[in-house]
Amino acid sequence: MIQIDYRDSRPIYEQIMNSFKKLIQAGVLVPGEKLPSVRTIAKENSINPNTIQKAINELENQGYIYSVAGKGSFVVEKIVNNPAKIEELKGKLMECSKELMFLGVSKEEIIGMINGGSDND
């Protein structure tokens, strides 16, 4: 369910966080659905529960899930709008697109990628 790359420079908790973000965005995890427990995720991936907990906390801070002590963590019904975050993402996207164009990728190809939405990870 989750992909961890220990050679990746990004911290493990961030990789876990992104995995869940993608599962939510892709609709694999639907609103209201319960996530596996911290301990389950930890055991299945041989990662320390504290690291999982950190990822879960971050996901809650960012508004993707909500946690209820003693019950579990659940996908939120609707993502809360966060204008600041949208601006940040727009900035990142523009930076990538500029650098790609500088490296010879045409504007059309980039737009094609966004239009097609083919998974490129």
- Rounded least distance, CB 74 to its own copies, Å: 7
Q: Answer with the entry of DNA, its own copies, none that 89 interacts with (C-beta below 5 to 8 A by kind).
A: its own copies
Counting contacts by CB under 7 A, is residue 53 touching DNA? Answer: yes
Asked if 113 touches its own copies (CB under 8 A), the answer is yes
Which positions from 33 through 52 interact with DNA, judged by CB under 7 A? 35, 37-40, 47-51
Distance CA 62, CA 36 (A): 19
The residues, any chain, with a CB within 8 Å of residue 23's CB and separated by 6 or more, are 1, 29
Shortest approach of DNA to residue 111 CB, angstroms? 33
Q: Give the residue from 80, 71, 70 showing the smallest Cα distance to 31.
A: 80
Residues in contact with 67: Cβ distance below 8 Å, sequence separation at least 6, in sequence order? 56, 57, 60, 73, 74
Can residue 100 be called a binding residue for its own copies (CB under 8 A)?
yes
First to last CA, the chain: 15
Interacting residue ranges for DNA, rule: CB under 7 A: 9, 11-14, 35, 37-40, 47-51, 53-54, 56-57, 60, 67-73
